[in-house]
Structure 1
Amino acid sequence: PDLMCDILSMSLNTGLQLGQVMEERYYYFDSLTDEIALAHAAYARRKRANGVMDFDDLLTQWLRLLRENSETRESFQARFQFILVDEYQDTNQVQCELIDLLGGRHHNIMAVGDDSQSIYSWRGANFRNVLEFPDRHNGTQVFKIETNYRSTPEILDCANAVIAANTQQFKKVLAPVRDSGMKPALVSCNDANQQAEFIAQRVLELRDEGMPMEGIAVLYRSHFHALELQLEFTRRNI
């Protein structure tokens, strides 16, 4: 049920047809597209019958209201003369259009975001909302914030090298404030299983070197990437 909700939510928040979402993001369940579409329709009927909405409906139905009802749209546009949006790189298509509509009268929108650190594509976020902002809003001024207070020079050297390869970006070079620290290490693995084995082995090595287990963390981009690692940790009693 959770996966089905994720699939339906992705379709709603990106504005993509269910079939396209299945083909591009959940291709391993592509054969179930028709069944999922039927379940979605039944779910929508049940919500209407009970007069309830879920979180996605709160956004999509509000967007529909602003699109179709000029009186409501103009009322909200007059109410909010200035709009500030933080973490703009993590907005999805619905949220982006909502912001554009709300700011459609005064065009006083400040969008704060970093096109190089969008990490919520798994729930429909699109970093292009940042890149295309000046195209949607004439007269946009872009202010670059390139001083970094969080990371060491070694980490920023690595980040700058990776960011420089982006084909779509606002050009920037991050400058550190902190002193030097350890260099990041890059380990190339053949597949997810080998990666899980390496991480588990390294965790045990750090433990044997005196590092407390609660002082070790594993970060991963998407939750499904953790499956092999969880299995390997279980196998090694970690």
Structure 2
Amino acid sequence: MLKSARDKEKDPEGRMPLADHLRELRNRLAKGVLAILVVTIVAAFFYRDIIDVVTKPMFDEIGCTQTFGELAKSKNAHCAHITVSGLLAPFTLALKVSLMTGVVLASPVWLYQLWAFVAPGLHRNEKKYAYAFVGFGFPLFLGGGFLAYHVLPTTAKVMIDLTPANAENLLPLDDLLDLITRMIVVFGLAFEMPLLLVMLNLTGVLSGRRMLGWWRGMVVGITAFAAVATPSPDPMTMLALAAPIWALYF
């Protein structure tokens, strides 16, 4: 009887047995997936509008508004014809865009669920930092994605301008959306570096003095990461990713 009472006694640090922890994981995952599913279903009704918003800067920069014959008359005219190939391609596009929107717009919900699952394993004095990580993580990700959204049209223009004379560019819409998604995710995750540095500092793994002492190597490492992470080889896109990370590091 005494043992049962002790088992039911709440841990002052908020910890729980393994079985309860697994049950908590299941519930948190279900809530996060449900939020993504609901937003995805709603976004499916507006997927055309979402595609227009996401791709409009790219279309304005590289989209062809003339016929190929008219373009051939101009030696400096370079653009791309946006295409959709295959019978199932429109459905795949709708599904991909809706799911991407669901993951992004529902991120505050599943980020909170992630924090709520991790929180019982933290000490009381550590839990207050978790709120800050979640609170700053989402805006930082949006900031990186916003930068990528505005850098992409210029990058696309540089790539399209390399087209040989009298050649026509056919750019599949699904490839274009994959490129936009990859750039937004890469930039967004790269902007999370300050949170990683703060976490390493708070846990005592790395001190601020040591991080500052490594600044030369970090500048080189960040440059190499930007060169690999960005899909285009032009230095403008690489610097657009590397420069903000340099600033965030310092």
After TM superposition, is the score higher than 0.5? no
TM-score range normalised by the length of the shorter chain: under 0.3
Identify the structure with bigger relative contact order (alpha carbons < 8 Å, sequence gap 6+). 2
TM value normalised by structure 1:
0.21
When Rg is computed on C-alpha atoms for both structures, the one with the higher figure is 2
TM value normalised by structure 2:
0.20
